[in-house]
Amino acid sequence: MKVPKIKETSKFQQALLSWGAENVRSFPWREVSEDSYKVVSAELLLKRTTASAAARISPKFIDEYPSLEKLSYASVEELIKNLRPLGLSSQRAHLIKKGNFFRHDG
């Protein structure tokens, strides 16, 4: 395996950043820079679903659960109802309640 030289890596990084500036899609979680809860929520919604689907649900989810504390008060049934449009299972709702957001579930 050929290891790229620093100069080559820098060119690649610059090309990738230039491409990204022109082609990156806008999603609510990318506009967040200081609120880590919103980023974690986005990761939760993105798990096993498309970014487009998560983008449709994300604003409602954040409105409904604006903090980890509010999310912790949600019932499993309520979470299942809110995650169903993403095709996320009841197992995901139970993991949220346990705080195991990023457990690999197959």
**Is residue 20 assigned to a domain?**
no
Q: Taking phi first (over 0 means left), then psi (-120 to 50 degrees means alpha), and beta for anything else, what does residue 87 get? A: left
Q: What is the CATH number of the domain that holds 67?
A: 1.10.340.30
Structure confidence at residue 32 (pLDDT): 60
Tokens of 36: 């880590």
Reported pTM:
0.62
Structural domain including 47 reads 35-98
**Is residue 30 assigned to a domain?**
no
Cα 80 from chain centroid? 17
**Is residue 55 assigned to a domain?**
yes
**Is residue 72 assigned to a domain?**
yes
**Is residue 88 assigned to a domain?**
yes
Tokens of 56: 């449709």
Could you read off the pLDDT tens digit of each residue along the chain, which spans 106 residues?
455 555 666 788 888 888 888 888 887 777 766 677 888 888 888 877 888 888 888 889 889 988 888 888 888 889 888 888 887 767 777 777 776 554 444 4
Selection from 97, 89, 46, 106 nearest residue 71 by Cα: 97
Number of domains comprising the chain: 1
